[in-house]
Amino acid sequence: MSKFDLRNPIMCALDRDDPKDVRTLAEAIGSYVGALKVGPRTVLRAEKNFIRDLSEIAPVFLDFKFFDIPSTMESSVRAAFDLGATFVTVHALSGREALERLSKLEAELSQVRPFHILAVTVLTSVGADTLPDIFESSDIHKNVMGLAKLANESGINGLVCSPHEVESIKTAYSDMKIVTPGIRPEFSTSNDQKRITTPKEALRMGADGLVIGRPIIEAESPIGAIEEICAEINR
């Protein structure tokens, strides 16, 4: 069991355009993974009950990365919960007021059923040479740690960051639950991710959830890929 009380730490990113394809894939692999991650690419093309239907297969990770005024973020997160999501992402850059209000909302909703708000730090597709100028320096690690500190002080104990920052965050905030994208099994390629590592190494550093997409959904046998990842973790 992972610290999120999931079947396993694999959160499969179902990044496809056709909701019917996603549903078919979810039905095939749902019993093999910890959660099913979907985002606007699919959900905005889907019917109203799409997330609810997926949640009957496995916990749903709704990755919309909400970033707005506090009241709108609260309403959006509550809507995600009402639709059946177990995990939802927001941007840590939304600020202290928003994060503090979302922390209170998470506590309220968690009384009904398990629910986690994850604050996104710096995307794993960003490297030192592409970090936006608005950040105070080109040191990605420093910026991620600053956002982790803000989330922790605001009462949010779920974070999304690259594998490269996991160990430092866990050292500073041991109770923080960390989901990390940029996970590439030994048999796969990096694609457009820049700050990456293997599933086993990410877990060793303290990650609680592993976002893995293309190595699974583009495999000839998605179930076979999942089984290979689990074997790699357990070696």
Alpha-carbon 110 to chain mean position: 18
Strand ranges, E, within 16-142: 35-38, 60-66, 87-91, 116-120
The residue among 124, 112, 47 whose CA lies nearest residue 86 is 112
Nearest to 121 by CA among 101, 96, 150: 150
Which residues have C-beta within 8 Å of that of residue 223, sequence separation ≥ 6?
Answer: 28, 29, 32
User: Of 119, 44, 47, 55, which Cα lies nearest the Cα of 82?
Assistant: 55
> To the nearest 10°, the Cα dihedral for 81, 84, 86, 89?
-50
Helix (H, G, I), strand (E, B) or coil at 12: strand
Residues annotated as part of the active site? 65
Q: In sequence order, what DSSP letters do the residues of 106-154 get, joined into one string?
A: HHHHHTTS--EEEEE-S-TT--TTTS-TTSSSS-HHHHHHHHHHHHHHH
